[in-house]
Amino acid sequence: MQYDYLIVGAGLYGAVFAQQANERGKKVLVIDRRPQIAGNLYTEDVGGIAVHQYGAHIFHTNDEKVWKYITRFADFNRFINAPVANYKGELYALPFNMYTFNRMWNVITPLQAQAMIEKQKREAGITVPGNLEEQAISLVGRDIYEKLIKGYTYKQWGRSCKELPAAIIKRLPVRLTFDNNYFNASFQGIPRRGYTEMIKAMLKGCTVKLNADYLDNRAYYDSLSEKVLYTGAIDAFYDYRFGALAYRSVRFETEDLPMENYQGVAVMNFTDSTTPYTRIIEHKWFTFGKDEKGSAISHTVISREYSEEWKVGMEPYYPVNDELNQALYVRYSALSERYPKVIFGGRLGEYRYYDMDKTIAAALQKAAEVLDR
């Protein structure tokens, strides 16, 4: 065997595990079917702007251990996510806070806002929310649900709010303050030189091979190493034996525009059901409109995001963790006992939604379990 570990996928989970293995003196080969490293974190310099090619990624965590780990490989700026919701030209603050409630109901104080929410909850007659619609109304009232949640959610998931579980909306920050910081996190920001450079630093000392599809040449790659960490889709690994798991995919429409400022904010969500895209990202604002040298950038790059139902051959982004698909995943996961050489990890390998900090924590834990035996 040429290597101790073969890492399939040069994204965040794979990079963390590879770094930990290399740090412990293991010989590591990292392969990826794409022509670049970093997975969906991949950022590309476009005229001084670090463009997030696979959607916006804003690092945030309350886990100090994770923060200390990841800042070994990148210097982070102090970007705070304060997105704006656009409903047919009406602009609202996200997260839902006193600016939102003032714009929606003309209320001034937290007591007035809370009273309006409670009034709408009583009118809806919701005691125990049974789906996303009921959960949303119980959190912020019917008016905000109708304008800022209902249409956006349908576009994002391709399903009505009545068909989705209440748990999805529990991640939504709601505040009776004027705090515009979307994430309630002690540590947050974006790597000053982009995520690609961060992943490159993590993979230092590892052998990296790109344009290499593990599933197309599995026997060959398996012969190269003692163990395999697989971060691709678990259903694809098993050739969709029980059928494909459900995912949402995202299509990006990116433009380089000859203007300094397109929308004045990094993230703008379009919450009506008629606008075909879910949001527009203006990438330069992730670095405050400046390049690496601190100089102002005279152009801008925007990306419109279109959420789509995934089909085999498309890029899977978000697992649809409903009961049917979770049961299907359990069947696939049970097959792993037949493949003791392979470790499954990451969002696709474990069929679960991971924020970046949770991805790092999970990879560090798995590395400790496997490498420190």
Catalytic sites, residue numbers: 171, 175, 248, 279, 305, 353, 355
Quickly list DSSP for 249-265: EEEEEEEEESSS-SSSS
- Residue 78 and residue 287: Cα distance in Å, rounded? 9
Neighbours of 111 (CB within 10 A): 10
Cα angle at 88 between 105 and 145, to 5 degrees?
A: 50
- Residue 94 and residue 269: Cα distance in Å, rounded? 9
| Phi and psi torsions of 118, nearest 5° | -65, -40
- Residue 128 and residue 141: Cα distance in Å, rounded? 15
Give which of 285, 291, 281, 347 is closest to 55, Cα–Cα: 281
Under a CB-based contact definition with an 8 Å cutoff, are residues 225 and 4 in contact? yes
Long-range contacts of 118-121 (CB under 8 A, 24+ apart): none
Count of residues making up the chain: 373
Under a CB-based contact definition with an 8 Å cutoff, are residues 346 and 233 in contact? no
Compute the 3-state secondary structure of the chain and give helix, strand, coil in percent, each to the nearest 5.
40, 25, 40
Give which of 252, 299, 243 is closest to 280, Cα–Cα: 252
Coil, helix or strand at residue 200: helix
